[in-house]
């Protein structure tokens, strides 16, 4: 299992990456053999109750990254840099990315990328903070792009391809491609020597990533490119209903869940 970005390379099988925002999910990811955990700013929708990723803070990602890093030993942990925590001021960007590594224990950070992140990627990589780039649908641009497919015209696809090259040259160790045509992702994957990780980018990327809530069946509804492999929401509801029923019917707590001290019988 990779614990350095240099080991994060597709072998015979594609790389697997999944988001996690807490220790139990991270522990399950590691036990299941996931190669990398992304502490995504998708936590905004998936775990923190926001309508988008925009309100997510550096403190929130650092706290969740710490939980994931403490729960794992053999899995690459990548912290997602939240909206406006990078790309505004270089020193501030470095300080925020540095917190994810120094304070929270991440191995790397991910930046939703564009022409504004090429120099920053180089600077962070030079400083020893590995960067995963992210092109295509970048949810932090929801107010400009919505959640629509990206790279669908020749011009837009060429722009993504050029930015992919520029980020590899700047030192990015991997590239997420989100919601782009599969034939664009195939060509970018063939062109780059660093791994591409697809989400809604077809089968030819070097690896795949999804949001844990989708994979687990924990959320409501799925994006068109995601799939569920369980029904954790259903299981949670079943367990909580069982608890409510047991308390209301006084089956819980039973004798084995209580203890009695005989000398305490006459307090009143």
- Count residues contacting ligand KIV (CB under 6 A)? 12
Closest approach, Cβ 171 to ligand KIV, in A, equals: 20
Q: Which one of 33-41, 87-95, 143-151, 157-165 is the stretch in contact with ligand KIV (CB under 6 A)?
A: 33-41
Q: Judged by CB, which is closer to ligand KIV: 157, or 209?
A: 209
Long-range own/partner contacts, residues 158-161 (CB < 8 A, 24 or more apart): 160/135, 160/136, 160/184, 160/188, 161/187, 161/188, 161/191
Of the candidates 178, 191, 237, 263, the residue annotated as catalytic is 178
Q: Judged by CB, which is closer to ligand KIV: 124, or 199?
A: 199
Among 106, 131, 192, 209, binds ligand KIV (CB under 6 A): 209
Please tell me the total number of residues recorded for the chain in this structure.
268
Q: Is 60 in the site for ligand KIV (CB under 6 A)?
A: no
Q: Is 85 in the site for ligand KIV (CB under 6 A)?
A: no
Q: Which helix (H) or strand (E) holds 158?
A: helix 154-170
Q: What angle do CA 39, 96, 90 make, to 5 degrees?
A: 130
Lookup result for tokens 């782009």? 180
Query: What letter would DSSP give residue 263?
Result: G
Q: What angle do CA 17, 23, 109 make, to 5 degrees?
A: 45
Q: Which one of 35-43, 150-158, 180-188, 259-267 is the stretch in contact with ligand KIV (CB under 6 A)?
A: 35-43
Q: Is 176 in the site for ligand KIV (CB under 6 A)?
A: yes
Among 18, 38, 129, 194, binds ligand KIV (CB under 6 A): 38
Lookup result for tokens 């919601």? 179
Q: Is 185 in the site for ligand KIV (CB under 6 A)?
A: no
State the virtual CA torsion across 10, 11, 12, 14 in degrees, nearest 10. Answer: -20
Query: What letter would DSSP give residue 128?
Result: T
Q: Is 42 in the site for ligand KIV (CB under 6 A)?
A: yes
Q: Judged by CB, which is closer to ligand KIV: 184, or 266?
A: 184
Among 5, 164, 199, 205, binds ligand KIV (CB under 6 A): 199
Q: Rounded CA gap, 89 and 25, in Å?
A: 33
Query: Catalytic site residue 168?
Result: no
Residue nearest to ligand KIV (CB): 40
Q: Rounded CA gap, 59 and 95, in Å?
A: 12
Q: Report the interface residues with ligand KIV, using CB under 6 A.
A: 19, 38, 40-42, 80, 134, 176, 178, 199, 209, 211
Residues annotated as catalytic (active site), given as ranges: 178
């Amino acid at each position: 299992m990779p614990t350095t970005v240099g080991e994060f390379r597709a072998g015979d099988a594609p790389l697997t990456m999944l988001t996690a925002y807490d220790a139990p999910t991270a522990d399950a990811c590691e036990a299941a053999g996931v190669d990398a955990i992304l502490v995504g700013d998708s936590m905004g929708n998936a775990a923190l109750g926001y309508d988008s990723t925009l309100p997510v803070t550096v403190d929130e990602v650092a706290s969740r990254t710490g939980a994931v890093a403490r729960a794992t030993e053999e899995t690459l942990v990548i912290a997602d840099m939240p909206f406006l925590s990078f790309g505004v001021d270089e020193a501030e960007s470095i300080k925020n990315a540095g917190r994810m590594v120094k304070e929270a224990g991440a191995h790397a950070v991910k930046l939703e990328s564009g022409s504004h992140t090429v120099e920053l990627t180089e600077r962070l990589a030079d400083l020893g903070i590995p960067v995963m780039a992210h092109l295509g649908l970048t949810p932090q641009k929801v107010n400009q792009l919505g959640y629509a497919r990206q790279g669908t015209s020749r011009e837009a696809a060429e722009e993504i391809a050029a930015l992919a090259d520029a980020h590899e040259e700047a030192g990015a160790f991997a590239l997420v491609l989100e919601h782009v045509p599969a034939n664009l992702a195939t060509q970018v994957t063939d062109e780059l020597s660093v791994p591409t990780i697809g989400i809604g980018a077809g089968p030819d990327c070097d690896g795949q990533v999804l949001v844990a809530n989708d994979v687990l069946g924990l959320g409501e509804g799925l994006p068109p490119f995601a799939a569920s492999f369980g029904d954790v929401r259903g299981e949670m509801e079943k367990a909580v209903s069982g608890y409510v029923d047991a308390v209301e019917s006084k089956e819980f707590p039973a004798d084995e869940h209580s203890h009695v001290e005989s000398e305490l019988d006459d307090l009143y």
